[in-house]
Amino acid sequence: MSDTSPPATPVSSGPGSSPFRVAALQMVSTPDRERNLADAGHLIAQAASQGARLVLLPEYFCFMGHKDTDKLAIREAYGDGPIQRFLADAAKRHGVWVIGGTLPLRVTNPAPEENRVLNTTLVFDPSGAERARYDKIHLFSFEKGAESFDEARTIRPGAEVRTFDAPFGRVGLSVCYDLRFPELYRRMGDCALMVVPSAFTYTTGRAHWETLLRARAIENQCYVLAAAQGGQHENGRRTWGHSMLIDPWGEILDVRDENPGVVIGDIDLERMAAVRTSLPAWRHRVLDCP
């Protein structure tokens, strides 16, 4: 049987499995935190007005400074700060789940002379209560011509795989460079949705972004929602954009190439069940992830 076209007749995933609308926000963040929060607030409102019940922001949605060390000036203690209050208030105001891209949190018990932050995703439910936290595990490093990046200079890596339960099922949390490490996604277990807030560079995004996202969706037979930075930033950096929602067959349901905006679509559990029934690769797994 060919595996070049999606499976036909969906099978029911049980009662109460109506589609659940989700959105990814694309931004071109600046060195001005307050302007970024205002821009994010407008996009969250736009997504909610289109029926989104879960909204994902991009990595560094709140701040992209002129230098990597600039983020140290706006780092927050876990549990309180203007960025965390913004996310909680937005979730409550619009009655949606908000997955807050990433923000810089203070390191607890830093090593002597350590001057780094955690690059952290926080999840808030529609009441504004925090429901999950993930500290980015894999830190980006890249050298090519004039491009030079080394996140480990200013970011301490996390260590724990994190998921949370949404009304439609399990959601796996990851950030940007994590996308290149499929073992992380296997460790998340059986997810209905995996999210990837990102700030891929133009160079690496053009080469690998779509391929990696579709691979994660296909191999885990679940939805993948990716919110990206996308455009020319005031700090001179250019990011790839192409925020998108991908279904369990690897089909792109919605995408935005560059510039701020909203990518939106539905998590359909019947569609996911149909894919897994037609091609039961998830059930055929033999090797455990170490």
Set 62, 176, 191, 222: catalytic member? 176
Measuring CA to CA, which residue among 122, 152, 116, 151 is closest to residue 134? 122
Contacts of 149 (CB under 8 A, 6+ apart): 140, 141, 142, 143, 201
Residue 36 to residue 60: CA distance in whole angstroms: 10
Select which of 62, 136, 151, 191 is catalytic. Answer: 136
User: Is 136 in the active site?
Assistant: yes
Residue closest to 210 by CA, chosen among 193, 222, 228, 187: 228
Residue 176 annotated in active site: yes
State the Cα–Cα distance between residues 281 and 217, nearest whole angstrom. 12
Task: Report the sign of the C-alpha dihedral through residues 188, 5, 275, 245, in that order.
Answer: positive
CA distance linking residue 108 with residue 123, whole number of Å:
20
**Which residues, other chains included, contact 176 with Cβ-Cβ below 8 Å and sequence gap of 6+?**
59, 136, 140, 196, 197, 198, 199, 200
CA angle 150, 75, 31 (to 5 degrees): 70
As annotated, the active-site residues are 59, 136, 176
